[in-house]
Amino acid sequence: MDTKSDRNAWLTGGPALCNVPAERKERPRRLVLLGAPGVGKGTQAELLSASLGACHLSTGDIFRAAKGLDACERTPALTAAVDCMKRGELVSDSTVLALVTERLRCLRCDGGFLLDGFPRTVAQAEALEKLLQGQNLTLDAVISYDLPLEQVVSRLSGRRTCAGCKAVFHVEARPPAKPGVCDHCGGKLFQREDDRPESIRVRMHAYEKSTAPLADFYRQRKLLVPVPSEGSPEEIFDRTMSALANGRG
Ligand code: AMP
């Protein structure tokens, strides 16, 4: 197992470098993780990152990091993006693409990458294809985490995150030993603003309309690897590794 990759270059953008450069891989993995919000992509990305050494690149994490900054430290586009995120709406393609283009070096990273939450629209997928072509890079596979809608909504509405170490719990499926308190660091657990019922409805609508069509986009390119996402994170991870071994990637 590799140690957790340092994501400073991705989270900060601009000229920022990672404090611990990624280990050069003989065969860096370049994967996209697709799936509805709440399906467990973030957890799988962490597990895959630890196993494959590829860096977990989440666009949602960029916006959450920006939310923690003072308003004067954010560009107007980033402030508008944070407001969209709070409402559960998608951030505009142009803002997302500007942020990813600014972080192109993360796509070239010697350790490979696991894109989580990007691309989210066909326009973003087409732009990613061009960005990668321009760097002479190709995707190994696009893993599609599939789960029935009612289970997705239940996972999202019960999700709680630690304010300290960012560990994720679920009030029923993975409850902390003491309600509201993180098992790992004792931090306070909170519900993400976009996991509240009114935002969940908006996010699911955005997913069905804009992101679900990406499965066809990548199926046509013979990159899609479907993974059923019932069960524990470990079971889903094992399924992912077998699917990668049997399918593409
Ligand atoms: P996530 O953590 O991936 O669920 O992202 C949280 C929120 O950030 C989303 O609900 C959107 O508001 C925004 N977001 C993240 N990635 C994208 C993207 N690729 N395109 C548009 N909006 C995004």
Is residue 239 flagged as an active site residue? no
From the CB of residue 233, how many other CB atoms can be counted at a distance below 10 Å? 15
Question: Average pLDDT over the chain, rounded to whole?
Answer: 90
Look at the pTM and tell me if it is higher than 0.85. Answer: yes
pLDDT of 132 > 80? The answer is yes
Residue 7 is predicted with a pLDDT of 84
The active-site residue, picked from 7, 29, 103, 120, is: 120
State yes or no: pLDDT of 1 exceeds 70.
Answer: no
**For the stretch 237-247, what's the b/e string if a residue is b when 16 or more beta carbons lie within 10 angstroms of its beta carbon?**
bebbeebbeeb
Query: How far apart, in Å, are the Cα atoms of 122 and each of 46, 128, 137, 215?
Result: 25, 10, 19, 10
Cβ(117) – ligand 1 distance below 6 Å: yes
Is the pLDDT at 180 greater than 90? The verdict is yes
Supply φ then ψ for residue 159, to 5 degrees: -75, 135
Above pLDDT 70, what percent of the chain?
97
pLDDT digits (tens, 9 = 90+) for 201-227: 888 888 999 998 999 999 999 999 999
Q: For ligand 1, say whether the CB of 59 is within 6 Å of any of its atoms.
A: yes
If one compares 24 and 247, the residue with the highest pLDDT of the two is 24
The token duo for 131 is 């960005």
Residue 3 predicted with pLDDT over 60: no
Residue 200's SS3 state is helix
Give me the pLDDT at residue 104, please.
92
Does 244 have pLDDT greater than 80? yes
**Residue 94 or 168, more confident:** 94
Q: Is 179's pLDDT higher than 90?
A: yes
Is 201 a known active-site residue?
no
Token pair of 48 as six digits: 């895959």
> Over the stretch 103-123, which tens digit does the pLDDT of each residue have?
999 999 989 999 999 999 999
CA of 246 relative to ligand 1 center, distance in Å: 30
Using omega within 30 degrees of 0 as the cis cutoff, is the peptide bond preceding 119 cis?
Answer: yes
The pLDDT value recorded for residue 38 is 85
Ligand 1 lined by 35 (C-beta under 6 Å): no
pLDDT of amino acid 248: 55
Instruction: Dump pLDDT digits (tens) for 5-57.
Output: 578 888 888 888 887 777 787 889 999 999 998 898 988 999 999 999 999 99
CA of 242 to the centre of ligand 1 (A): 28
| Rounded Cα distance, 114 and 46, in Å | 9
The residue whose CA is least distant from atom 1 of ligand 1 is 60
Give the C-alpha separation, 236 to 166, whole Å: 21
Mean local confidence (pLDDT), 52-71 = 89
- Among 56, 90, 94, 126, residue to substitute to test ligand 1 (most atoms within 8 Å of Cβ): 90
- Using pLDDT thresholds of 50, 70 and 90, give the confidence band for residue 130: very high
The secondary structure of the chain in percent helix, strand, coil, rounded to multiples of 5, reads 45, 15, 35
